[in-house]
Amino acid sequence: MVRATRLGSGKPQTVDWCAPAEVPVGMVYNKTPHAVMMATPDDLHDFALGYALAEGVINQADELLDIRIHSLEKGIELHMTIPENRVERLKLHGSGRAHFGRAGCGLCGVDRLDDAIRPLPRLPDTQLRISHNIAGNAAVSLGKKQPLRRINKSVHGAAWVNAIGEITNVREDIGRHNALDKLIGACARDGVELHEGFALLSSRCTFELAQKCALAGIHALLTLSAPSASAIDTAKRANLGLASWDRRSGTLVVFTGNVWNG
């Protein structure tokens, strides 16, 4: 808790505010440091697995052989074991240095365009169809499913919504990319069929979020703010269904894909 002052039409009020934690979380693969992300230190096993899947370090959940959490004086390290044939994926730059990513940015530490704009798989067509009502109900319900957001108004949420519109998993983090990584990890751990539902994000959609969804095998993504042009282009190339929910008009704005119905 931190002390804050609320100003309004009446007298100033002193309030206790629950500010979200934000700490350095180091990703270490086979004893080699790879990345440091500023993140909310919750659901770290999901974060470790989801980050590895969404960044293409591994292709499937069972390739993450072990996760050990080391709490240090200045942060947390996630020590992970992966097959040796996957270690080559970490040598993107050949420099052996770790990358630093701030919570609000998915590309901090990336210093080559080839590493930012990566080749993407083209997702196969799916029989999934998401109605306007299912999308809208999920979008409206997301805030009620975010316990951290209710008390601090600061964190992003990433949710998994099944084909009938039920929110079955929610993960939160100070960074929208981290929240999505945690959700991907949770879904992988639970064996969720990613062609039978959609991801819902409380944030806007930028191209690296679309990349993460495509690499993880998510077929549809709904956001509560409109996407960037590069996100739309990325979604088209990956055959990812991308839409946003316009809260002011109560309408579903579809940008890519045939998974969305009126």
Just list the catalytic residues.
Answer: 105
* Residue type at 160 in one-letter notation: W
What tokens does 118 get?
Answer: 């990566």
d(CA 149, CA 18): 10
Q: How do beta strands 156-162 and 197-201 pair? A: antiparallel
Residues, the chain: 262
d(CA 100, CA 187): 26
Provide CB contacts within 8 A for 253, sequence distance 6+.
226, 243, 244, 245, 246
Which residues pair with residue 13 across a beta bridge? 6
User: 152 exposed, middle or buried (CB, 10 Å; 0-12, 13-18, 19+)?
Assistant: middle
CA distances from 97 to 84, 115, 160 (A): 19, 15, 34
Closest CA to 183 of 152, 205, 206, 156: 156
